[in-house]
Amino acid sequence: MSFARVAVPVPLGQAFSYIVPEQLAEDVREGSRVLVSFGRRKILGVVIRLEDATDVPADKLKPLLAVVDPQPVLPPELLAFLVELARYYLAPVGEVMRLALPALERTATERLDQAGLLDGMDVQAVGKLVQVVRALPATGERTTPKLRSKQASQILAELIELGDWVSVSDLARQHKSARAAVKRLAELGLVELEKHQRALDPFFAEATRDVAPTLTEAQNEAVRAVLPTLQSHGFAGFLLHGVTGSGKTEVYLRLVQRCLELGRGAIVLVPEIALTPQLVGRFRSRVGDAIAVLHSGLSDLERQAMWKRLRSGELKVAVGARSALFAPVPDLSLIVVDEEHDGSFKQEEGVRYNARDMALLRAHRAGAVCVLGSATPSLNSIHAVNEGRMSHLVLPDRAHASAALPQVEIVDLRRMGPGPSGDKLISLPLHRALERTLEAKEQTILFLNRRGFAPSLTCASCGQVADCPNCSVALTYHRARGERLVCHYCDYTAQAPARCPRCGAPGMVDEGAGTERIEALLKESFPEARVARLDRDVAAGLKSERILDAVRRGEVDILVGTQMVTKGHDLPSVTLVGVLNADAALSMPDFRAAERTFQLLVQVAGRAGRGDAPGTVLIQTRQPDHPAIKSALTHDVNAFVERELLDREELGYPPFSHVALVRVDAAFEGAAHEAARQVAELGRRMAGENFDLEVRGPAPSPLARLRNRYRFQIMLRATERKALRPALLAIVRGRWDRRVRVSVDVDPMSML
Ligand code: ADP
Ligand code: ZN
């Protein structure tokens, strides 16, 4: 008799044992998706282990009901990695499996249904087929019968011109009676109709040809350092530390190419925002069509199609944001994490994992090379290099012979008044620099870490600030699409009041500036300039690419935006970059505030002067002597890092210790507080004699109330990672007040 340990998607930590019935024994493998009964429900799970014996009593065991997919969904390498990830984050193993599972196929659910196994169970399946049409190739002299309908002949002409499949519903969007016309054309034998699985992907259309440049000496050295390990299928971690514009992407491309030559697979992770058609086009034009692009805009069906093609080995390279780490890439030999310092690799909901850290783990398990690239490496990476756990590869100069790093200057906001616009964030030096850049017909990027018109609305009489009713934050004042107050945490929206809600006095004041106000001021001060804004309010996903394209085509003179403007874009005509307020990021209640600020400044500065004209960067601040700002002046990563590492060591913060944050929240403040106290107490009890483990708190979270829930946190810290584990396990398995949510965040990136 054999048994299966099955991970099921329930919030309970472990896997459950089932009997493998005789008739399924052939089909069940480790990594198979199976149907099981769980309590009174039926659910889908994944077999993580097959065993010959179990210590679960026989009367508690139920049989597996069915094997769902024809072959195991998870290859052994990926399965083992997921199990280890679940252990690392103390996350429910079934939830972790879900990160990697593809959607069910319609054919699979139909089979289960026919076998009478689904009885009313609600399963989501993909496999809706789309009708596509294309013109039949003209054989010799085709005599086109006269088409009575003008629309039909127009559609036919379009299809002939395109020479490819088009979905009928797309046609129907452009031509009123396309469906009838297509039917007629098919009857006449002029077009053929088919049902396709694959929907069109915007990234497929964009492939531009680009010729591989000759590598610079530094690029060459980097590639040569990685190749031997890659070829021998060994594990090694590399930090590719290259200044902005040094051509890191070129290094990735060569390594990926080598993988393909060897017939092996690779994963390339990029921050979501950097996943642009431009980047993908570059990969596709060089690496060919062997690449799957996984992005958040994909439908379940498209994602599943990509997944299948990877699993079958037809595609060997996955490019995508953090979740692409779970792609079933065959014979994995290389994982690249571009902009490895970027916060978006950390998932902040559900399973809180960090794709940057886990890339190293998966590479280690798979015998693959892991290359972490950045112009501003995380302190973790530098520390790993210092300890000899990773090799350091350096690209010290920009790749283009003519592109030098920009000149960076400080504008001390304490001493410098506002320019002609009247707002202190457009200081006189910045105003003048804008004038010069406009005159030279070059482009400017202005960065402000705050969207909306003003950060708050305050009553001039009584000082009351308009707060979010659900969260402990001020509401942001927006004007672009009607005057509104918006909570940036819970999306609560209200009309902006004309009178103070407390004292009734008229005259609510909108002090301070967000991107909307800066945009408006610029339009006023520079009426001839074309100003565009890039932040979450105007651009989600691919829309941001449209705005950046307009910048690339020279249709924008000044681009104002939030973090979205700081990420990896290659915009050669930008010569001026202004950081309007460097202090905002410094004041975050987080031990990484200085590191983040430094990275942000160097990254945004790196947008300037990437082409032939030299660039200038102005950083406005009230703390010109802060080390993060002083080091950004000279692009001196080493100076900043050295000093910051000393500070961290002294304070005992990562990378010199390991931290986990336990968050406790509830609708009732008292319940949350009491549970948080108990959690901390349990943590201390578990720490016992282990003096390496320090338990701090409970304390109200910096964001003390969010979506009407009161929040407390407890911090656990130890120099040895394993010292955290017993306490965290006890906390995760603890039975807490049912009204309270207790969640563990291992290696937290956000302290809010
Ligand atoms: P990074 O990712 O390091 O910021 P990119 O990979 O975007 O830099 O490269 C910056 C620019 O330099 C791009 O326009 C790229 O085409 C160009 N480039 C990269 N490598 C070379 C090379 N060896 N010779 C000439 N140009 C290069
Ligand atoms: Zn809110």
Q: What is the pLDDT of residues 457-477, one digit of tens each?
A: 999 888 889 999 999 999 999
Most confident of 188-192, 199-203, 486-490: 486-490
The yes-or-no verdict on residue 576 having pLDDT over 60 is yes
Q: What is the pLDDT of residue 193?
A: 86
The yes-or-no verdict on residue 629 having pLDDT over 90 is yes
Confidence of residue 721 (pLDDT cuts 50, 70, 90): very high
Distance of CA 520 from the midpoint of ligand 2 (Å): 26
Q: What is the pLDDT of residue 568?
A: 57
Nearest CA to ligand 1 atom 27: 399
CATH code reported for the domain at 217-395: 3.40.50.300
| Ligand closest to the CA atom of residue 612 | 1
Nearest CA to ligand 1 atom 21: 399
Output 631-635 pairs: Cβ under 8 A, ≥24 positions apart: 631/598, 632/408, 632/598, 632/601, 632/602, 632/605, 633/408, 633/409, 633/410, 634/408, 635/243, 635/405, 635/408, 635/602, 635/605
Distance of CA 475 from the midpoint of ligand 2 (Å): 8
CATH entry, 407-451+515-647, from 3.40.50.1970, 3.30.565.10, 2.40.110.10, 3.40.50.300: 3.40.50.300
Distance of CA 561 from the midpoint of ligand 1 (Å): 24
Choose between 381 and 10: higher pLDDT.
381
- Give the 3-state secondary structure of 653-703: CCCCCEEEEEEEEECCHHHHHHHHHHHHHHHHHHHCCCCCCEEEEEEEEEE
Q: What is the pLDDT of residue 284?
A: 84
| Helix extents (H) in 207-321 | 217-231, 248-261, 277-287, 300-311
Over the stretch 123-167, which tens digit does the pLDDT of each residue have?
666 666 578 899 887 655 555 666 778 888 889 888 888 888 888
- Residue 211: CB atoms within 10 A of its CB come to 6
The yes-or-no verdict on residue 199 having pLDDT over 50 is no
Q: What is the pLDDT of residue 208?
A: 54
Distance of CA 210 from the midpoint of ligand 2 (Å): 47
Q: What is the pLDDT of residue 524?
A: 93
Dihedrals phi, psi of 370, to nearest 5 degrees: -115, 120
Would strands 191-196 and 166-167 be described as parallel, antiparallel, or unpaired?
unpaired
Q: What is the pLDDT of residue 254?
A: 95
Give the Cα separation of 336 and 81 in Å (integer).
17
Over the stretch 240-281, which tens digit does the pLDDT of each residue have?
999 888 899 999 999 999 999 999 999 999 987 776 777 788
Token pair 């000093």 is found at: 643
Distance of CA 473 from the midpoint of ligand 2 (Å): 7
The yes-or-no verdict on residue 206 having pLDDT over 60 is no
Going by C-alpha positions, the residue among 314, 342, 311 that lies closest to residue 329 is 311
Over the stretch 310-329, which tens digit does the pLDDT of each residue have?
999 989 999 999 999 999 99
Nearest CA to ligand 1 atom 20: 247
Q: What is the pLDDT of residue 89?
A: 96
Average pLDDT value for the chain: 88
Q: What token pair was written down for 717?
A: 């810290």
Over the stretch 290-315, which tens digit does the pLDDT of each residue have?
888 887 777 777 888 888 889 999 89
Across 597-638, the runs of DSSP E, i.e. the strands, are: 616-621
Nearest CA to ligand 1 atom 23: 215
Among 240, 250, 570, name the best residue to mutate to test ligand 1's pocket (greatest count of ligand atoms within 8 A of Cβ). 250
Distance of CA 469 from the midpoint of ligand 2 (Å): 7
Average pLDDT in the 7-30 region? 88
Handedness of CA 126, 347, 328, 290 (dihedral sign): positive
Distance of CA 459 from the midpoint of ligand 2 (Å): 20
Choose between 244 and 445: higher pLDDT.
445
Q: At what angle do helices 637-651 and 593-605 cross, to 10 degrees?
A: 170
The yes-or-no verdict on residue 491 having pLDDT over 60 is yes
Q: What is the pLDDT of residue 144?
A: 63
Nearest CA to ligand 1 atom 5: 247
Distance of CA 249 from the midpoint of ligand 1 (Å): 7
Same topology for domains 129-197 and 658-746, yes or no? no
For residue 338, the ligand 1 atom closest to its alpha carbon is: 2
Q: What is the pLDDT of residue 723?
A: 93
The yes-or-no verdict on residue 439 having pLDDT over 90 is yes
Q: What is the pLDDT of residue 661?
A: 97
Q: What is the pLDDT of residue 128?
A: 60
- Among residues of the chain, what percentage have pLDDT more than 70? 93
For ligand 2, a single-atom ion, the residues with CB < 5 A are 468, 470-471, 487, 489-490, 492
DSSP-assigned letter for residue 390? S
* CA angle, residues 304, 307, 309, in degrees to nearest 5: 115
Give the Cα separation of 732 and 190 in Å (integer).
65
Nearest CA to ligand 1 atom 4: 245
For residue 395, the ligand 1 atom closest to its alpha carbon is: 3
Domain 2-124: homologous superfamily in CATH: PriA, 3(prime) DNA-binding domain (3.40.1440.60)
For residue 698, whether the previous peptide bond is cis, meaning omega lies within 30 degrees of 0, is yes
Q: What is the pLDDT of residue 230?
A: 95
The CA-atom distances, in angstroms, between 353 and each of 229, 402, 646, 741, 746 are 27, 41, 27, 19, 8
Choose between 160 and 612: higher pLDDT.
160
Over the stretch 415-425, which tens digit does the pLDDT of each residue have?
988 888 888 89
Distance of CA 306 to the CA centre of its chain: 18
CATH entry, 129-197, from 3.40.50, 1.10.3470, 1.10.10, 1.10.1760: 1.10.10
Over the stretch 677-690, which tens digit does the pLDDT of each residue have?
999 999 999 988 78
Q: What is the pLDDT of residue 204?
A: 47
The yes-or-no verdict on residue 198 having pLDDT over 70 is no
Give the Cα separation of 435 and 626 in Å (integer).
29
Distance of CA 465 from the midpoint of ligand 2 (Å): 14
Any idea which of 260-264, 284-288, 351-355, 636-640 has the lowest mean pLDDT? 284-288
The yes-or-no verdict on residue 120 having pLDDT over 80 is no
| Ligand closest to the CA atom of residue 568 | 1
DSSP-assigned letter for residue 573? T
Coil vs helix vs strand at 748: coil
CA atoms within 13 A on the CB side of 453: 17
Going by C-alpha positions, the residue among 447, 454, 433 that lies closest to residue 621 is 447
Pocket of ligand 1 (CB under 6 A): 213-216, 219, 242, 244-250, 399-400, 570
Q: What token pair was written down for 84?
A: 């280890």
Most confident of 42-56, 212-226, 279-293, 526-540: 212-226
Q: What is the pLDDT of residue 74?
A: 93
Output 430-435 pairs: Cβ under 8 A, ≥24 positions apart: 430/578, 430/580, 430/618, 430/620, 431/525, 433/576, 433/578, 433/616, 433/618, 434/522, 434/526, 434/529, 434/558, 434/576, 434/578, 435/526
For residue 606, the ligand 1 atom closest to its alpha carbon is: 4
Domain 658-746: homologous superfamily in CATH: Ribosomal protein S10 (3.30.70.600)
| Ligand closest to the CA atom of residue 467 | 2
Nearest CA to ligand 1 atom 19: 247
Among 570, 607, 635, name the best residue to mutate to test ligand 1's pocket (greatest count of ligand atoms within 8 A of Cβ). 570
Q: What is the pLDDT of residue 143?
A: 58
Q: What is the pLDDT of residue 4?
A: 94
Dihedrals phi, psi of 380, to nearest 5 degrees: -55, -45
| Ligand closest to the CA atom of residue 210 | 1
Any idea which of 115-119, 125-129, 151-155, 590-594 has the lowest mean pLDDT? 125-129
Nearest CA to ligand 1 atom 14: 570
Choose between 405 and 411: higher pLDDT.
411
Q: What is the pLDDT of residue 203?
A: 46
Distance of CA 213 from the midpoint of ligand 1 (Å): 9
Most confident of 95-99, 135-139, 673-677: 673-677
For residue 242, the ligand 1 atom closest to its alpha carbon is: 3
Nearest CA to ligand 1 atom 9: 247
- Domain segments of the chain: what residues? 2-124, 129-197, 217-395, 407-451+515-647, 454-512, 658-746
Distance of CA 495 from the midpoint of ligand 2 (Å): 14
